Structure 1
């Protein structure tokens, strides 16, 4: 006796998505980003400099440039390159979060501490790399939400 075996033929049309795709149009808040990259000068940097607890020497270390170059930028209102702008804006985010959480003086006194969530490393020592800055920002965010580690 031979059994009749039916062949399975998948219904391809039912496995396709039949919903229309949503079209999202995101408009930038402003053209500030383009302006910052093209025309980010020492004058713009000075606004960030006054908000933060860092000296010009510490900024020069974090931006991998000499303090003398920063003084020259100040004198000529010179512009920064793209990588330096990115680092400055990331540090501005850190400064804003830190000042909001601790206040300006409290943030300044928190920077030399060794929090458990940073494996006992000094906070200021983490500010020389992009990942380190981001790790400190994440630590502040966790602290704001009451997460210790």
Structure 2
């Protein structure tokens, strides 16, 4: 009976991340990440600007994602890693991501994951929370 290892977020090493983007995020890695951070195919479809059918095709063919999509996947993963570190408990961060945020334009932070600007806005807000600066 093998015990599955707990999920370990990607390291922030720029060269490793660059190589991972260039090689493409493998679908099994994407699946583990999705399960860990509680994002479903419909949400990923929106964030990656890919149809659910295309994502299912990646799964069926056990393909790695193209660099453009791999980069967004890793940006989101790093954001979640940062958010969990700031909140201290993953579930608290997940709840925050699903709660309307006045400083982020009265939307749920999760709704901003479809652009680099949105991801950066969430990072900035996490920095303010981390340093006790609440808007």
TM score, norm. by length of structure 2 = 0.77
Query: Which 4+ residue blocks in structure 1 deviate beyond 6 angstroms?
Result: none
1:141 paired to 2:127? yes
Counterpart residue number, 1:61: 46
Counterpart residue number, 1:118: 104
The answer for unaligned runs of 5 or more in structure 2 is: 1-12
User: Which one is further off, 100-109 or 74-83?
Assistant: 100-109
Instruction: Give 1:95's match in structure 2, choosing from 70, 80, 84.
Output: 80
3-state DSSP class of the match of 2:113? helix
Contact 2:24 2:70 in 1 (8 A): no
Going from structure 1 to structure 2, the CA distance change for 1:83 and 1:134 (only over 3 Å counts) comes to: same
The answer for unaligned runs of 5 or more in structure 1 is: 1-27
Contact 1:51 1:95 in 2 (8 A): no
3-state DSSP class of the match of 1:117? coil
Contact 1:53 1:104 in 2 (8 A): no
Aligned residues: 122
Q: If you compute each CA radius of gyration, which structure gives the higher value, 1 or 2?
A: 1
2: CA distance, partners of 1:142 / 1:112: 18
Counterpart residue number, 1:47: 32
Alignment deviations for residues 37-77 of structure 1 (CA, whole Å, 9 cap, x no partner): 22422122223222212112101110011112212212221
User: Which one is further off, 112-121 or 128-137?
Assistant: 112-121
1:131 paired to 2:117? yes
1: CA distance, partners of 2:33 / 2:77: 6
CA RMSD of aligned residues (A): 2.1
Residue 138 of structure 1 and its aligned partner are, at CA, apart by: 1.4
Going from structure 1 to structure 2, the CA distance change for 1:100 and 1:36 (only over 3 Å counts) comes to: same
Alignment deviations for residues 10-35 of structure 1 (CA, whole Å, 9 cap, x no partner): xxxxxxxxxxxxxxxxxx88656324
Residue 88 of structure 1 and its aligned partner are, at CA, apart by: 0.6
